[in-house]
């Protein structure tokens, strides 16, 4: 799904609850803990894999790789490989990813304001 992709006319308000609505895949992606945290981590700018892994404490390399790949497949993250020795790879939010970061940041703020830790 790219930034210019629109949902089909058959998926209107309230249709997200139907099994065939493509919104479900995007909601599943954004509701995933590691995807949401990776988007938040990339709000400050491009980062390398190792930097993201250190920032997202508790994530395994395999899960981070899969999360970034899925975010890239949905045009939320772009992966840039630089022709250097050794090769350097950076991940950054796309315009669509930056727009998704807004409601995720609002949710993070809401949690910080309203949810107490045990």
Give a yes or no: residue 118 inside a domain.
no
The predicted model scores a pTM of: 0.80
Give a yes or no: residue 109 inside a domain.
no
Cβ atoms 77, 37 nearer than 8 A: no
Q: From 56, 35, 21, select the one nearest 104 (Cα to Cα).
A: 35
Lookup: tokens for 105: 């940041």
Q: Where in the sequence is the domain holding 74, given as residue range(s)? A: 20-102
Give 60-105 pLDDT, tens digit per residue: 999 999 999 999 999 999 999 999 998 899 999 999 999 999 999 9
Q: How many domains does the chain have?
A: 1
- The pLDDT, as a whole number, for residue 4 is 43
Give a yes or no: residue 64 inside a domain.
yes
The enclosing domain of 86 has a CATH number of 1.10.10.10
């Amino acid at each position: 799904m790219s930034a210019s992709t629109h949902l089909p006319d058959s998926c209107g308000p309230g249709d997200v609850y139907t099994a065939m609505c493509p919104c479900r895949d995007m909601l599943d992606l954004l509701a995933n803990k590691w995807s949401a945290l990776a988007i938040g981590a990339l709000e400050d700018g491009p980062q390398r894999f190792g930097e993201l892994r250190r920032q997202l404490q508790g994530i395994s390399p395999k899960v981070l790789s899969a999360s970034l790949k899925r975010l890239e497949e949905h045009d939320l993250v772009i992966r840039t490989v630089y022709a250097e020795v050794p090769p350097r790879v950076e991940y950054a939010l796309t315009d669509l990813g930056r727009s998704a970061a807004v409601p995720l940041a609002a949710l993070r703020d809401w949690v910080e304001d309203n949810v107490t830790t045990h």
